[in-house]
């Protein structure tokens, strides 16, 4: 009874306290954002670089204190519109996109993410002009070579990464296939982090290919029907052990569709974020804000998932005063996290 009365009095107080603190946080962030923009415009390049790195390190340290997504994926949309809006040749738009990708991959690795995948070229992209396809192939070769070299250099933060290029290779020229095999061979021993470049790829092609592999194993009597479980099926997909789930999928440029990507991997508790920014303009800060949101909901989710035994132990210890000296906000007072695949943005 007493607990009920306390709750009745406490709930509106906590709610108004949360509301006031939220208002202050939003006000502080918007003032900080404006001052930051002015600061970045007036300081010289060297100070700007130093400051950005300083902020990056702080954000990464804060994020590392909470849960970190294991698998992050990008649909990199908007390169051509970026080139057009900046009066640049189309090639420059894709080059800027390649630069953004490697920068974000490097930051994800630094944060402790285990795997990043990127939709670099869908099977449908072969319908683009011959010139654009050739430009993209040349860019991929250069960028993948750069990644593999960096992954072998112990002074580079990408050191220890594994590079995998996944998709239907039968659609590629012999030259390109040989190049891809070479960069994969160079990084095959990387254990800390895996970077999957999906090209030429579609989810349905991946699923169809996995069904083919399972059926082949069954016909050749290597497996029995009962062995085809969701988990074992996933293991045979292009993304290996990361096929089971994608924690965060980000699509840039404002389109709100999956375009035949991550269809198998987007299920309960996967977060899909659609952001309006064009891919080359997508920044570290925007990615971090998405990670913060994911981390916040995952913390609540994990708390809700703890066993009944843990919860009863907690209620016993909380009733003993000397074990419960400090008061925290209860996690129950926070909003419910999304329960299924959440589409934000």
Question: Please, what is the minimum distance in Å from the beta carbon of residue 83 to ligand FPP?
Answer: 8
Question: Please, what is the minimum distance in Å from the beta carbon of residue 117 to ligand FPP?
Answer: 11
Backbone angles phi, psi at 13, to 5 degrees: -65, -45
Q: Which of 73, 79, 194, 266 binds ligand FPP (CB under 6 A)?
A: 79
Residue closer to ligand FPP, measured from CB, 200 or 337: 200
Q: Residue of minimal CB distance from ligand FPP?
A: 97
Interface region with ligand FPP, contact rule CB under 6 A, candidates 3-11, 92-100, 156-164, 327-335:
92-100
The two tokens of residue 287 are 């990615």
Residue closer to ligand FPP, measured from CB, 100 or 214: 100
Q: Does 97 bind ligand FPP (CB under 6 A)?
A: yes
With CB under 6 A as the rule, give the number of residues binding ligand FPP.
20
Query: How is residue 192 annotated by DSSP?
Result: S
Q: Does 98 bind ligand FPP (CB under 6 A)?
A: yes
Pairing assessment for the beta strands 342-344 and 271-274 based on DSSP bridges: parallel
* Distance from C-alpha of 9 to C-alpha of 339, rounded to nearest angstrom: 29
Side by side, which strands form the sheet with 115-119?
161-166, 193-198, 115-119, 71-75, 248-251, 271-274, 342-344
* Distance from C-alpha of 38 to C-alpha of 32, rounded to nearest angstrom: 10
Alpha-carbon torsion, ordered 135, 187, 150, 106, to 10 deg: 80
CB of 266 closer than 8 Å to CB of 240: no
CB of 80 closer than 8 Å to CB of 86: no
Q: Does 80 bind ligand FPP (CB under 6 A)?
A: yes
Q: Does 91 bind ligand FPP (CB under 6 A)?
A: no
Residue closer to ligand FPP, measured from CB, 97 or 190: 97
Burial class (CB in 10 A: 0-12, 13-18, 19+), 177: middle
Residue closer to ligand FPP, measured from CB, 94 or 164: 94
Q: Which of 18, 52, 56, 125 binds ligand FPP (CB under 6 A)?
A: 125
Q: Does 77 bind ligand FPP (CB under 6 A)?
A: yes
Per-residue mark of binding to ligand FPP, 127-166 (x: CB under 6 A): ---------x--xx--xx----------------------
Residues that bind ligand FPP in the complex, under the rule CB under 6 A: 76-81, 94, 97-98, 101, 120-121, 125, 136, 139-140, 143-144, 197, 253
């Amino acid at each position: 009874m007493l607990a009920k009365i306390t709750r009745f009095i406490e709930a509106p107080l906590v709610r108004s306290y949360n509301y006031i603190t939220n208002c202050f946080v939003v006000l502080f962030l918007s003032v900080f954002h404006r001052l930051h923009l002015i600061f970045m415009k007036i300081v010289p390049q060297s100070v700007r670089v130093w400051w950005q790195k300083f902020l990056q390190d702080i954000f990464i340290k804060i994020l590392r204190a909470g849960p970190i997504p294991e698998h992050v994926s990008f649909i990199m949309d908007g390169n051509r519109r970026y080139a057009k809006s900046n009066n640049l040749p189309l090639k420059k738009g894709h080059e800027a996109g390649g630069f953004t990708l490697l920068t974000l991959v490097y930051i994800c690795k630094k944060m402790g993410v285990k795997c990043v995948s990127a939709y670099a070229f869908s099977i449908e992209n072969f319908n683009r002009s011959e010139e654009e396809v050739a430009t993209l192939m040349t860019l991929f070769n250069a960028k993948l070579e750069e990644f593999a070299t960096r992954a072998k250099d112990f002074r580079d933060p990408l050191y220890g990464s594994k590079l995998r290029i996944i998709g239907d290779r039968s659609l590629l020229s012999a030259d390109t296939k040989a190049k891809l095999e070479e960069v994969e061979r160079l990084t095959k021993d990387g254990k800390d982090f895996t970077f999957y470049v999906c090209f030429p790829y579609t989810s349905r092609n991946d699923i169809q290919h996995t069904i083919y592999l399972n059926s082949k194993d069954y016909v050749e009597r290597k497996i029995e029907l009962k062995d085809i479980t969701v988990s074992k099926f996933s293991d045979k997909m292009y993304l290996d052990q990361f096929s089971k789930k994608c924690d965060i999928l980000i699509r840039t440029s404002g389109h709100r569709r999956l375009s035949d990507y991550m269809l198998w991997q987007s299920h309960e508790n996967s977060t899909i974020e659609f952001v309006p920014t064009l891919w080359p303009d997508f920044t570290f800060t925007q990615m971090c804000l998405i990670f913060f949101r994911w981390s916040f909901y995952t913390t609540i989710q994990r708390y809700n998932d703890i066993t009944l035994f843990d919860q009863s132990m907690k209620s016993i210890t909380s009733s003993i005063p000397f074990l419960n000296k400090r008061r925290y906000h209860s996690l129950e007072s926070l909003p419910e996290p999304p329960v299924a695949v959440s589409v934000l943005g």
